[in-house]
Chains A and B, each alone.
Chain A
Amino acid sequence: MASYERLGADAIAVKGRLRAHKWLLLRRLSQVGILVLFLLGPWAGLWIIKGNLSSSLLLDSVPMTEPLVFLQMLAAGFVTPATTAITGVLIVAGFYLLVGGRAYCSWVCPVNMITDAANWLRQKLGIKPTTRFSHHVRYWMLAMVVLVALASGSMAYELINPVSLIHRGVIFGVGMTWAVILGVFLFDLFVTRRGWCSHVCPMGAAYGLIGKFSLLRVRADRREVCNDCMECFVVCPEPQVIQPALKGAERGIGPVIVAGECTNCGRCIDICSKDVFNFGTRFFK
């Protein structure tokens, strides 16, 4: 098993520090960049994108609406939204059908930076898993979110959804946002490894459902050269998704990581000194 101290040393030796962090750096650039684009409006009067991740307007013309928010709206009983919202949700869902459902999680969602930081600190401090619960809790959460909207007739989950709370809080300068950030951070630091994003978050679950059908996927195309260093399993936020694609050759399983939970973060590509992984489509070449 790879030790955390040595993690990535092989990849760095083979590919150099930059290429061994290529996707990670690009991802951070995307996450921070999107936040900055949203902030340019209120801070510099440059309105490239307006609103927040729940609904936004790009260049005053392209509407976007978050699918889970849209779903809650329908469940809450508002079934006649204006066309803007419908166009918006189609644009967003269509986009993630192309680039991978949970690409939202690793490339856009601001919470990911917090949970990644918590995970990093967790490894540094050597905190062992304390509470363990199933990866499937998030799907229960997703069902609960829809049911609560149905029963209460309002977007009840949006009152506590940390993704919306944090993004809106930062963009609109709403007070107390730090408390939510701290809450998520501490949850991931102490309760369980990758607790929020890989176990609980219903928004990630919803994007995961989109990811089941999405075009862009990570593939273990060169799986035959895998030297079993296991480092991809250590860095992956959803290690269970790698196993079938990487080790399924004898069982006739293809090299595509098909599980919707894969976030298309590309960390496995970065960390692999043998270049086993690459981005590709879900279809055979």
Chain B
Amino acid sequence: MTDAVRSENRPEKRKRAISRRRFMADVARTACGVGLLGLGIGMFSRAGALPAMSIRPPGALPEEDFLSACTRCGLCVRDCPYDVLQLGGLGEQVPIGTPYFVAREKACVMCEDIPCVPVCPTGALDHDLTDINKARMGLAVVVDQETCIAFLGLRCEVCFNVCPVRGEAITVDRRPNPRSDRHALFIPVVHSDACTGCGLCEQACILEKSAIKVLPTHLAKGELGSHYRLGWDEKAKAGKSLVSPDLEHRYNLPEGMRYDHDGEGLMQEEPSPFEDDPLDTLNRGLDGGT
């Protein structure tokens, strides 16, 4: 009797044991497969950093936050009236489906009402940005001072003239031109406290390849050590000199010497080649060598 029961039960039991074993194996297989896939996706997601020439739309959160907030819906792309923005495609370096623009191709024209921002459903483009001048999409940098024709002594100032924040984001600084010794260089200088990173300057640069480029701010900016104090700032803050008494700087030089850094240091004063009366100077050497 017991034998009969056992023989009836055994295959049943064994089958159950086998099916349980198979079930466990299936679960393990699934877990491993899906786990590996997850690992792959995770690593893939970390590998693709935003290339330096791809600029996020105005108001975009810092890249890390942006990648968690942007649903890749393209609504910002749709509401940009100038078709500046595009979505990252498959096989591109920009994380797939996220919005960006390439300044040299089509720069942001800094719409006053910033239509691309409020349409963003999640706030990946920060809705608190209401003044386009406060946007910080990147930072323009005159990256190549060897080809920028302003540095070569020509008057260009195209980047300065197209800048929507002209005079604040870009100024033109005059410097002496050492090549001619009597002309000025009109050098474009970008100021990070006002540049929005719109890229209009990069788009407009007249070179074959732009000498001024908008870069992501973290690439463009240096950072002083926190212990640095700027004397002139401190002085302004204090409203008086912090070194007292504040004396005019003076050199104590021997008679007939002067200090001129451009002439590379200590110089002998030379008597002027000019006569007091300019006519005498001009007439010099005309009357037979006397």
Residue numbers of A with Cβ under 8 A of B are 41, 47, 50-52, 54-57, 63, 65-66, 69-70, 73, 76-78, 80-82, 84-85, 88, 133-134, 136-137, 140-141, 143-145, 147-149, 151-160, 164-165, 168-169, 171-172, 174-177, 179-180
Contacts and interface: CB of A to CB of B under 8 A. Distances in A.
Given A63-B121, A175-B89, A144 B68 contact: no
Nearest to B73: A55
B30 interface: yes
Given A158-B97, A159-B95, A55 B46 contact: no
A157 B122 CA distance: 18
Contact of A158 (B29, B42, B72): B72
A147 B90 contact: no
A112 to B, nearest CB: 21
Given A134-B30, A140-B30, A154-B68, A168 B123 contact: no
A55 B31 contact: no
A134 B90 CA distance: 30
A169 B97 CA distance: 9
Contacts of A73: 68-69, 71, 122
Given A50-B78, A152-B42, A159-B44, A84 B122 contact: yes
Contacts of B127: 82
Nearest to A146: B38
Contacts of A141: 34, 37
B74 interface: yes
Please list the 8 inter-chain residue pairs (A to B) with the smallest Cβ-Cβ separation, ordered nearest first.
Answer: A76-B68, A55-B73, A156-B45, A176-B90, A82-B123, A154-B67, A174-B89, A78-B69
B127 to A, nearest CB: 6
Given A78-B65, A179-B90, 20 more contacts: A52-B74, A54-B71, A54-B73, A55-B71, A57-B121, A73-B68, A81-B69, A137-B30, A137-B33, A148-B41, A152-B41, A152-B45, A152-B46, A153-B67, A153-B68, A156-B41, A164-B72, A168-B87, A174-B90, A176-B89
A69 B90 contact: no
A161 to B, nearest CB: 9
A143 B38 CA distance: 10
A156 B42 contact: yes
Given A55-B121, A175-B90, A148 B68 contact: no
A137 B34 contact: yes
B119 interface: yes
Contacts of A148: 38, 41-42, 45
A265 B30 CA distance: 28
Given A152-B46, A155-B67, A156-B44, A169 B90 contact: yes
Nearest to B46: A152
A147 B31 CA distance: 13
B41 A172 contact: no
A70 B45 CA distance: 18
Contacts of B89: 169, 174-176
Contacts of A169: 89-90
Interface string B8-38: 0000000000000000001001110111011
29 contacts: A51-B73, A54-B97, A55-B75, A65-B122, A69-B71, A73-B68, A73-B69, A78-B65, A78-B122, A81-B121, A81-B123, A82-B121, A133-B26, A134-B26, A136-B30, A137-B33, A141-B34, A141-B37, A144-B35, A148-B45, A149-B68, A152-B45, A154-B67, A155-B68, A155-B70, A159-B48, A168-B74, A169-B90, A176-B89
A58 to B, nearest CB: 12
Given A76-B68, A82-B122, A137-B30, A175 B91 contact: yes
Contact of A140 (B34, B68, B97, B124): B34
B120 to A, nearest CB: 7
B276 interface: no
A82 B199 CA distance: 28
A56 B120 CA distance: 10
A140 B71 contact: no
A233 B251 CA distance: 102
Contacts of A180: 90
B103 to A, nearest CB: 21
Contacts of A50: 75, 78-79
Nearest to B44: A159
Contacts of A152: 41-42, 45-46
B68 A51 contact: no
B45 A51 contact: no
B73 A56 contact: yes
Contacts of A160: 41, 44
